[in-house]
Structure 1
Amino acid sequence: MVLSSKILARFLLVLAAAVCAVGMITPSLQGVEKNFVPADKAAHFVAFYGLTALMMAAFPKNRRLEITLAAVLLGGSIEIAQMFTHRGVSLGDLSADAVGAFAVWVPMWLQSLRSPPVVERRRRASDAVKEAA
């Protein structure tokens, strides 16, 4: 049985989100990310870059900007949850989360500016077929 890429992406997304949430909320795990990434903000960037990319792969039919904003909201939710677990709340961490999420979205948005929307491409193809006939 072959798993579809969408199902695999959804599985990896749930796994990655759980690891990130536990790592970012649990007080005893504070600073563990320094074993992988030397700077706290870089760890937030990498985590949310990966989460956003997985979200886009898991839900390819959803709008990319909405997925990116959902990732930023997730980062905000984690910062709020940290208030209740006696960890420091940081706008810098939230900013790093947002930059990581938008680092996935911006190149896709720029590419969409280069190529016409699907409807326009279909109309052009239809016009080309009519002209050939």
Structure 2
Amino acid sequence: MPAKLKLTARFLLIAATLVCVVGMVGPFKGVEKNFVPADKAAHFIAFYGLTVLMMMAFPKSRRLEITLAAIGLGAAVEVAQFFTHRGFSFSDLSADVVGAFAVWVPMWLQSVRSPPVVERRRRASDRAVEPAPERSRTA
């Protein structure tokens, strides 16, 4: 991935994270209804987008760890909402989890479906250097 794209993804990740955290914890309760009619859909979209940006910003990190980090952020936001008297909601956290895993699951299925690049290269090199069949020596 080009360095410029990675840097752009990191900048967008910081901006999106700030917008999400301020929107979910700040005094703007219900502002997401101006964009998305359902609160759970807003959580799903937010954490789907954050997970995609995290994977683009850190392409060499493990995808499952990135997904779990996004879920951790969702849990932290819900705990922060509890302390700001907005209330902890398991259904909001569930929407966050589903949004994050909606990014990871197709990638995981693809990795299960096809062997990793290193394995494909090894198999290709093994085929290229097949040993010649042994000839019987009769004198």
- Could you state the TM-score of these two structures normalised by the residue count of structure 2? 0.89
Tell me the amino acid that sits aligned with residue 68 of structure 1: T
What is the one-letter code of the residue matched to 2:56? A
Aligned residue for 2:9? 9
Alignment deviations for residues 99-132 of structure 1 (CA, whole Å, 9 cap, x no partner): 0000000000111111101221121122133139
Cα deviation code 1:87-108 (max 9, x no counterpart): 1210000000000000000000
| Cα RMSD, aligned residues only | 1.7
Counterpart of 1:42 in structure 2 is 41
- The structure richer in helix per residue is 1
In the other structure, the counterpart of 2:113 is 114
**Structure 1 residues 3 and 114, CA gap change in structure 2 (3 angstroms):** closer
* 1:75–1:130 distance in 2 versus 1, CA, 3 Å: same
Partner of 1:90: 89
Identity of aligned residues (%): 73
Deviation at 1:69, TM superposition (A): 0.6
Aligned to 1:24: 24
Gaps of 5+ in 2: 133-139
Paired residues in the alignment total 131
Instruction: Give the alignment's TM-score, normalised by structure 1.
Output: 0.93
Q: Which runs of 5+ in 1 are unaligned?
A: none
